[in-house]
């Protein structure tokens, strides 16, 4: 019997954004609002975006996050770094990562069809990465895919604080749902596993599950339950305090 593997989350949210557009404005406000709500949020250092491709550390942070919020701003596509990051995020989406796009003062259709500043940015990348059609196609596909996801569109003349409040509420709701659902499933699987061993012991048979492996399973499950249980209580407590 193989020991079940559980995806361990270090962060609740990974923020993807174009530094020169929103680091000291919208993204910093969103980051603070998430942190104030108790959401464990990853935001990269300025130096990490200076390279051409995402670092292994950033890729690991994406893989260890429950949710990725992609802030699609005017110059997002001008950065090959951001486009690589977006492609990685959407790859992780197939493994369960929830992706929430935020169209910050850009038309979602411009992102989807690569028009306006997105068309200009990709034209420059076409020249710069000549002969690397696979990379360019991956970026275009990623932009189309993220533009088709359910997200938020902030236009000119809208209040950012209200917009950010809506995002934080959704994130909190998604996290609480993710934290609560697996606990019952884990307990049920633990019950079935222990039931199998006890039944085989009762019949005087040699169990097919080595006790050493079963101990690891139980410890892993208990650890996850404690981790998730404390997180659930933390969210419930915050909800009670803020009401």
Active centre residues (catalytic)? 85
Cβ count near 133 (within 10 Å): 10
Cα 156 to the center of its chain, rounded Å: 27
Residues in the chain: 243
Residue 91: both structure tokens together: 């790859």
Cβ count near 30 (within 10 Å): 26
Of 225, 160, 216, 223, nearest to 25 (Cα)? 160
Burial (Cβ within 10 Å: 0-12, 13-18, ≥19) of residue 50: exposed
Judge whether 111 and 80 are in contact, CB under 8 Å.
no
Partnered with residue 71 across adjacent β-strands are: 102
């Amino acid at each position: 019997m193989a020991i079940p593997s559980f995806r361990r989350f270090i962060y609740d949210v990974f923020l993807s954004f174009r530094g020169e557009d929103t680091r000291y404005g919208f993204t910093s406000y969103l980051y603070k609002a998430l942190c104030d709500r108790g959401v464990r949020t990853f935001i990269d250092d300025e130096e990490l975006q200076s390279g051409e491709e995402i670092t292994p550390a950033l890729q690991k942070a994406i893989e260890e996050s429950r949710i990725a919020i992609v802030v699609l701003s005017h110059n997002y596509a001008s950065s090959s770094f951001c486009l690589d990051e977006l492609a990685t995020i959407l790859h992780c989406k197939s493994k369960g990562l929830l992706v929430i796009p935020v169209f910050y003062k850009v038309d979602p259709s411009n992102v989807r069809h690569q028009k306006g500043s997105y068309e200009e940015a990709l034209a420059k990348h076409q020249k710069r990465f000549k002969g690397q059609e696979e990379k360019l196609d991956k970026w275009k596909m990623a932009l189309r895919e993220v533009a088709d996801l359910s997200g938020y569109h902030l236009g000119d003349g809208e209040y950012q604080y209200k917009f950010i409040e809506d995002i934080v509420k959704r994130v909190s709701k998604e996290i609480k749902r993710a934290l609560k659902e697996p606990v019952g499933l884990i307990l049920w699987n633990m019950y079935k596993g222990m039931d199998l061993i006890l039944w085989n012991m009762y019949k005087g048979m040699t169990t097919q599950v080595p006790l050493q492996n079963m101990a690891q399973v139980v410890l892993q499950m208990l650890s996850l339950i404690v981790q998730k249980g404390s997180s659930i209580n933390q969210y419930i407590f915050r909800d009670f305090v803020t009401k």
